[in-house]
Copies of this chain bind each other. A is one copy, B any other.
Amino acid sequence: MAWRRGKLTAILLIFEVVFIVLFGILVVYDDQANATATQNSLTPAQGGADADNNVLRAYYPMFQDVHVMMFIGFGFLMTFLKKYGFGSVGFNFLVAAFVLQWATLMSGFLHLHHGKIVVDITTLLTSDFAAAAVLISMGAVLGKVSHIQLIIMAFVEIIFFSINEWVGLTFFKAVDVGGSMFVHAFGAYFGLAVARVLYREDMVGHSKEGSNYHSDIFAMIGTVFLWLFWPSFNAALAPGDDQHRAVINTYFSLAACAVVTFAISSAVEKDGKVNMVHVQNATLAGGVAIGTSADMMVHPWGALLIGSIAAVLSVVGYSYITPFMADKLKIHDTCGVNNLHGMPGVLAGIIGAIVAAVASPAQYGNSVYQIFPARAPIENSTELATIQAAFPAIEAGNGRSAGLQAGFQMAALIVSVLVALVTGALTGLLLRLPIWDQPEKDSMYEDEDYWEIPEEEAVDMNGSLEGVGHKKPDSRARTESDTNNEQDTKV
């Protein structure tokens, strides 16, 4: 495989050089992080910034939670594959680090200020959110594509992800505080479309596609950190009481989701046992399902209900829909992202639309115009003046009714799913080019071809099995003596 040597290196270095050049031309610090800004050389009394209240402080704890979700959460969640642990946590790391830079640029292109991309802590946070979309897509194709394909997919996906989100937020003025439509549903259906196009029969029922006892425990590190920090994911960008509410709603949705996951898992499994796949994944569906409505007035009971429904949907998905999709629709979904991000993301969008349809100023006060900016009265109207007298932070909107806002929420959901499917399919076609080195059957779900594997492993994992003739060795011989062993013991 000497071919790969140059290829991965070249692709990554070319991208990195382009990133550095584009950053050099375009990216500047926000005034809150820029020593040159006059405000940072004056006291507050003189109109300077208050160093003790730099915007960094408001966002940093939740930013770090989200950061942990991306790299520990997604990275370890995927280590459940027994022979693909390096690839799971390692390629997750590579892809996410790549996206942090590329998403800063792509999102920046769409939000230029005087021709520059201005970065502050919220930029870092939204780049992490963008990484989530790609990592979700990666879950659909995990173990079935090369690292090069992952990088190409990440590059292309971020383009469409950024545009779709920008259209949804700017033109539809749909709201989605936790990114359930724009991140989770988009990432899932993009990845599933890629998986559909890349489908080969030998991907399904593969002997190496499975977990072992310790790989399942490693995966729980990812699960639990995702579950714990999901309130930060859903609340990080909301202000004041909206943020507080988003934390409460997500916390309760996830608590109910975890309990109901165990209930339903035990109901659908043989002998009433609990399935680790469900615990690793379906417990998180409550975080997705409440994402769009997390800052809305769903009330704590509503959060519990949403989390409970998400758990049922997700467990049923893992047990019945994933096998159906693999068998009948030729969509093989390694991590079951349809069940954790896809269907719960769609559910989130629908719930968001329903809650938007019943949101009234009577219940929300002026917050209704903060949560749904398009519902604020139009510019220069007397209604707007009245509202701004009490709450100057409200900006002019489109004067939408609750029902109209709900319609735009549904439109944004549908468009997100469709754009994801179409652009994902196109990306899948691109990824089928032989140049990207898609792995053959023997190299799937396995680190062997991509990673230097510790030598001892060849003995630890297979040596004893060889000795008793259970199956042929998985690991390739690394030394002459290993090779001899293999030959000696093959049955």
Contacts and interface: CB of A to CB of B under 8 A. Distances in A.
B300 A29 contact: yes
Contacts of A89: 217, 220, 224
A280 to B, nearest CB: 9
Contacts of A4: 266, 271-273
B23 A300 contact: yes
A467 B471 CA distance: 13
Contacts of A64: 61, 65, 228-229, 232
A320 interface: no
Given A94-B259, A271-B1, A217 B85 contact: yes
Contacts of A62: 60
Contacts of A170: none
One complex includes copies of this chain to the number of 3
Contacts of A51: 239-241
B272 A7 contact: yes
B2 A269 contact: no
B256 A34 contact: no
Nearest to A464: B464
B214 A124 contact: no
Contact of A119 (B248, B277, B367): B248
B456 A212 contact: yes
B451 A24 contact: no
Q: Indicate the size class of the contact surface on chain A.
A: 35 or more
A9 B267 contact: yes
Contacts of A85: 213-214, 216-217
Given A273-B452, A463-B468, 15 more contacts: A12-B262, A20-B301, A27-B301, A42-B366, A52-B240, A54-B241, A57-B58, A72-B221, A86-B276, A101-B256, A123-B248, A211-B456, A212-B454, A212-B457, A277-B452
B390 A12 contact: no
Contacts of A327: none
A380 interface: no
Contact of A262 (B8, B34, B243): B8
A305 interface: yes
B124 A247 contact: yes
A75 B256 contact: no
A317 to B, nearest CB: 17
A75 B225 CA distance: 12
A299 interface: yes
A259 B101 contact: yes
A260 interface: yes
A421 interface: no
Contacts of A206: none
Given A40-B365, A224-B72, A247-B60, A90 B276 contact: yes
B259 A15 contact: yes
A242 interface: yes
A381 interface: no
A35 interface: yes
Nearest to A218: B217
Interface string A230-243: 00100000011111
Given A5-B271, A452-B269, A301 B23 contact: yes
A273 B453 CA distance: 10
Given A100-B255, A363-B36, A240 B49 contact: yes
A455 interface: yes
